Every structure is written in C-alpha cells, then in structure tokens.
Amino acid sequence: MDKHIYIDLLDRFMRGELPVEREHELLTWFRQAEAREQLFQHYRQRWVEAEDKSLPVEVQTRMFREIQARMHAGMAEKKKRKAIFRLKIPQWVSYAAVVILLIGFSTTAFLYKNLADEIASDPLRTYRVLVDKGQHASVMLPDGTKVWLNSHTELTYNADYGKENRLVALSGEAYFEVEKDSTCHFIVKAGEMEVEALGTAFNVRAYEEDRKLTATLFEGKVRTAVGKDEVILRPDESLSFDKVSRKMQVSKDIAVYARMWKDNELFFKGETLQEVAVMLDRLYNVQVRFASEKVKHYRFSGVIKNNSLENVIELISLTAPITYKKVGGDIVIDERK
C-alpha cells in the first residue's frame, strides 16, 4: 500500500478519528524500519512548515514522556487492552507530537529497555493526562474504561492501576464509562469527594476554583463520599457538595444537563456572570473583564450550543442588560446604559 495512505491513517489516529479495526493495520506498518524513515522525512517537512508556531520545550517533553509511558505500559502488559490517548489539538501540534515520537524511535534500543525496567520496578509511577484551556480530550484507561475530559482538566493514575483497585485522581471535569470488573472497584478522587463505582456511567465536576463539587450518575450505581458522609446515587441523580457551607445536596433537576459539555453545549442555571466568565476562560482560554461591579452579579440561565465565543457572548447579551466589546484578546462586559 502507498506510504501516503498510512500517513493519512496516522493523521487520523492523532486526531482520534481512526476506527479501532484499522489501528492494527497502522501499527503493523509502523513497526517496519522503512516506515519510520518515511514518516520521519514526511513530518520533518511538516515541522519545518510550522516552525513559526513555537511549542514550549516543557510541552514537548511532557508529550514525549506521555507517549513513551503509554507505549511501554502496553509492552509490559500485553494481555491487557491497549490504552489509547487522543487529544483534540491543533493539527500542527499533532505533527509535533509525531516528530517527538519519531525521535524516540530513532534512539537506541537500550533506552526503551531501561524505561520499561524503570516502570516495572516503580508501581507508583504516575501517568498524567493534562487538558489545556480551550481543549477537550478522551482517553481509554488500561482496563478499557473510557474517559472524556473537559477543558482545564487533569487526570492522574499510577502504574499499579487495576491490580488491587482502579484509582484515578481528577481536577476539573470528566465523564466516565467504567468497564465492569466486580473484583476491582473504580474510584475517583476529586478534591474532598470520592466516587466509587462498578460498571457505570457518571460525570464528575471538581474544579479547584469552583465552590461546589458535583457527581452525576447516568447508569448503574455509585457511592459518593465526603469525609465520613456517604450517599448512594441512583440514575439521573446528582450530588453537590458546597466547600464553603460543607453541605451535601442530592437533586434530579440537573442530571439531564450534566454531560452536555461532551456535545459542545453549555448549560447555565442561575450562575452569575462572574461564574460564567470563569467557564468561558476554561472553554475558550479568554480573559473576561468587567467594567462594572454590578454586572458581575447578574444571573444567567439557559442552554447554548458551544460553537464560538462570539455566539455565546451575543446570546447572553440578548437576555441580560449588558454590552460587550473586545479589547486586545480580552472581552470587556459593561452594563447597558
């Protein structure tokens, strides 16, 4: 098959669009020595074309280490399902990741052996998935559990994941579809909240800067706990914990909206514009400033298709007495005179 077809398959894999049944085809070709040289030449040219769009060294290093870690975790546990890491990032960054990957392939074999030995000897090695502001991501954990990550989110787990338990730590927001395993509970540590599940689908919202932690169940059954206080959630129930008042509350009126972000929709229920501004910063990586203190306390409710920052601001301005303008890269909101 023509090499360009495989390069197209790799592009689709990096974008998270390659069907699972074609991944084996791609990986089989990718292991061939001539394939690596062809890919290196191809993406080196792409890298040159994108050299004016600088990628910070620490980001390159993080991407390289993450790719290496996932490759070797899969090699060490051949009997386990392969973990798939996909980030919806700009195309040129995908090329950068591939170049970093190819540089890894060009290193000597002992580098891989030493790294594999390091992982095997350190079961507490931490794997981290970081999603920047303005991005979404999805990841498949080693047991087959699927996780969708919202903007400005971090998910971590150790190399011993799945041996005695399946423990992950979350800062931000994520939707989980947990692979069933009656012998190994799945636990999410989200700030002060702990969510324990078996074969279920649920959403956890746990941004450090937010006042509330929220867990919403869609399928199955979960145990939620804050300290010694525990609540068992049933489908379409949400538990919210107020970090200031220390109160827990179970409700059913927000469950239908809790995972709308996965489909690029925004839901607001009485949030102040100051709280909305924090959400917009996460989703679009934009600073929202207020020319009036009064405006910060206006409240907004509704569902908005999350297609562009301009549309979101415009729709809010139609239902609230505000005006807005762009100043540099910021959005300035003022009260309507």
All structural domains of the chain: 1-121 (no CATH), 125-258 (2.60.120.1440), 264-335 (3.55.50.30)
How crowded is residue 106: how many other Cβ atoms within 10 Å of its Cβ? 10
Residue 44, pLDDT score: 57
Q: Is residue 317 within 8 Å of residue 300, measured between CB atoms?
A: no
Instruction: List, for the chain, all residue ranges whose pLDDT scores fall below the cut of 50.
Output: 50-61, 63-65, 67-68, 70-72, 75-121
Residue 198, pLDDT score: 75
pTM of the model: 0.62
Residue 37, pLDDT score: 67
Residue 42, pLDDT score: 65
Q: What is the Cα Rg of the chain in Å?
A: 22
Query: Tokens 């399928």 label which residue?
Result: 219
Query: Tokens 């959630």 label which residue?
Result: 233
Helices (H), the chain: 3-14, 20-30, 33-49, 57-76, 91-106, 109-121, 273-284, 309-319
Residue 289, pLDDT score: 92
Give CA angle at 134 (131, 135), nearest 5°: 40
How many residues in total does the chain contain? Answer: 337
Strands 137-140 and 193-197, bridge-based pairing:
unpaired
Q: Which of 67, 66, 99, 88 is nearest to 17 (CA)?
A: 88
Strands 322-327 and 288-290, bridge-based pairing:
unpaired
Residue 40, pLDDT score: 61
Query: Tokens 């910063």 label which residue?
Result: 281
